[in-house]
Amino acid sequence: KKNLIIFGTRPEAIKMAPLVKEFKKHSSFETKVCVTAQHREMLDQVLDFFEIIPDYDLDLMKANQNLYSLTADIITELKPILEDFKPNYVYVHGDTSTSTIAALAAFYAGAKICHIEAGLRTNNKWSPFPEEMNRQLTGRLADYHFAPTQQSYNNLIVENINAENIIITGNTVIDALMESAEKVQNLKSNEIDYLKSIINKGKKIILVTGHRRENHGQGFVNICEALKDIAYANDEVQIIYPVHLNPNVKKVVHEILSDISNINLIEPLSYPAFVWLMTQSYLIITDSGGVQEEAPSLGKPVLVMRNTTERPEAVASGTVILVGTDKDIIVKETNSLLHDSQRYESMSKLHNPYGDGNASRKIVEFISELEK
């Protein structure tokens, strides 16, 4: 049987890499990889690290990319690939334009559609935009739904998806992390050498990332003001912030946080360097979905700079705290985790609700069973 695994962005590549690897172990499947390259450079770094050579590369990233042209390009470019390879199963991930449009193309081609990281919902079609609509539409198109948690399973049941076609697997991001967290400790990397050279060993490292559209504008101003206060008030802290390249983020961050001695604003990091830095951190402040799923496996508490979340499991289990973009709350919660060691210790020992590193194995087992 033939599998086509399609993805286009950095987080998708990280989360699909374990599935590619797992399927390649099974000779009963011919598995090919297609990248739309909706992100280019950030995607390539991940492909290199996981040693994935795509069979098809649509190379779609453009200077003035917009949702309309991206949608049109993905569907047009996938047609000849689907017609040529004729996959039985097409695998898409999560909530990007690549996921939804590739699922639609696979539907036109008559392939079975497998949705990885299925069932996350905010149930507000405008937030996050366009991700929530992307994931809902992909869910509607999919034949098999690989839900990371019981909660995401429940969300799909509410939408009348047949329970037989929903499989709880955990999130493949943990599979990727388990392999990588070990590998990066001995990896030769200029980026990791650079990080070692700037890290002040005696200090507690706070790692910050942020990119979400809904935080652009006043949200990022508040976040930066909070980080400034934290840095000034806590000499024992070093804030390391790989700043997203989006000008809406970069400009504000550099205006407010340049030239503070215990804040390092650095370029975005490749995945292995980022994983290494997570392992060295005391606390992580982020608005990223993937990072809040990963951090609990490394025992790192996370403050999430969002007001609502499609990942309520982490909040319920206590591995993350939702702080929104309110300056006072960010400062208060950070200070609490810096100074209340009991609270810090108990948070860092919590079980990760997003899985144990076996998600891709479960997905492959399920598909193999269908073919028996």
Minimum gap (Å) between residue 11 Cβ and ligand UDP: 4
Applying CB under 6 A, does 353 fall inside the site for ligand UDP? Answer: no
Please, which residue, 10 or 145, has the CB nearer to ligand UDP?
Answer: 10
Q: What are phi and psi of 90, to 5 degrees?
A: -120, 130
Q: How many residues bind ligand UDP (CB under 6 A)?
A: 16
Return the number of the residue (85 or 274) whose C-beta is nearest ligand UDP.
Answer: 274
Partners of 6 in beta bridges:
34
Residue the block writes with tokens 């790989």 = 242
Say which residue the tokens 């070692």 belong to: 196
By CB under 6 A, tell whether 309 contacts ligand UDP: no
* Interaction of residue 155 with ligand UDP, rule CB under 6 A: no
Q: Are 173 and 93 in contact (CB under 8 A)?
A: no
The region of 189-197, 216-224, 264-272, 354-362 touching ligand UDP under the rule CB under 6 A is 264-272
Residue type, 326: D
CB of 94 to ligand UDP, least distance (A): 7
Q: Which two tokens stand for residue 317?
A: 């289990």
CA distance 171 to 358: 8
**Dihedrals φ, ψ of 166, to 5°?**
-115, 130
Tokens 């909040």 appear where? 315
Give the range of 183-191, 283-291, 346-354, 361-369 binding ligand UDP by CB under 6 A. Answer: 283-291
Residue among 51 and 84 whose Cβ is closer to ligand UDP? 51
Q: Which of 18, 148, 219, 242 binds ligand UDP (CB under 6 A)?
A: 242
Q: How far is the CB of 125 from ligand UDP (least distance, A)?
A: 18
Say whether 89 sits in a helix, a strand or coil. strand
Structural contact between residues 280 and 300, judged by C-beta atoms closer than 8 angstroms: no
Q: Binding pattern to ligand UDP, positions 160-179, x when CB under 6 A? A: -------------x------
Question: Which residue in 99, 288, 309, 360 binds ligand UDP (CB under 6 A)?
Answer: 288
Query: Who's near 31: CB < 8 A, 6+ residues apart?
Result: 2, 3, 4, 5, 20, 23, 24
Query: Which of 289, 312, 324, 353 is the binder for ligand UDP (CB under 6 A)?
Result: 289
Q: Is position 8 an interface residue for ligand UDP (rule: CB under 6 A)?
A: no
For 358, counting Cβ atoms within 10 Å of its Cβ (0-12 exposed, 13-18 middle, 19+ buried), the class is middle
Listed in sequence order, the residues at least 6 apart from 291 whose beta carbon sits closer than 8 Å to its beta carbon are: 209, 278, 284, 302
CA–CA distances in Å: residue 164 to residues 107, 161, 167, 296 = 20, 9, 8, 30
- Residue 49 found at the interface with ligand UDP (CB under 6 A): no
Task: Identify which of residues 209 and 234 has a Cβ nearer to ligand UDP in the complex.
Answer: 209
The size of the chain, in residues, is 372
Closer CB to ligand UDP, residue 32 or residue 300? 300
Q: And the tokens for 134?
A: 């992307």
- In whole angstroms, how close is the CB of 193 to ligand UDP at the nearest point? 17
Q: Does 11 bind ligand UDP (CB under 6 A)?
A: yes
How is residue 207 written in tokens? 């790692």
The span of 66-74, 104-112, 268-276, 323-331 binding ligand UDP (CB under 6 A) equals 268-276
For the bound state, the minimum distance from the C-beta of residue 160 to ligand UDP, rounded and expressed in Å, comes to: 27
Where in 194-223 is the site for ligand UDP (CB under 6 A)? 209, 211
Closest CB to ligand UDP among residues 143, 214:
214
Options 69-77, 183-191, 269-277, 319-327: segment touching ligand UDP (CB under 6 A): 269-277
Strands (E), the chain: 2-7, 30-35, 56-57, 89-93, 112-116, 144-147, 166-168, 204-209, 237-242, 263-266, 283-286, 302-304, 320-322
130 makes contact with ligand UDP (CB under 6 A): no
**Residues identified as active-site:** 95, 117, 131, 211, 213, 244
Which residues contact ligand UDP by CB under 6 A? 10-11, 14, 173, 209, 211, 242, 268-269, 271, 274, 288-291, 294
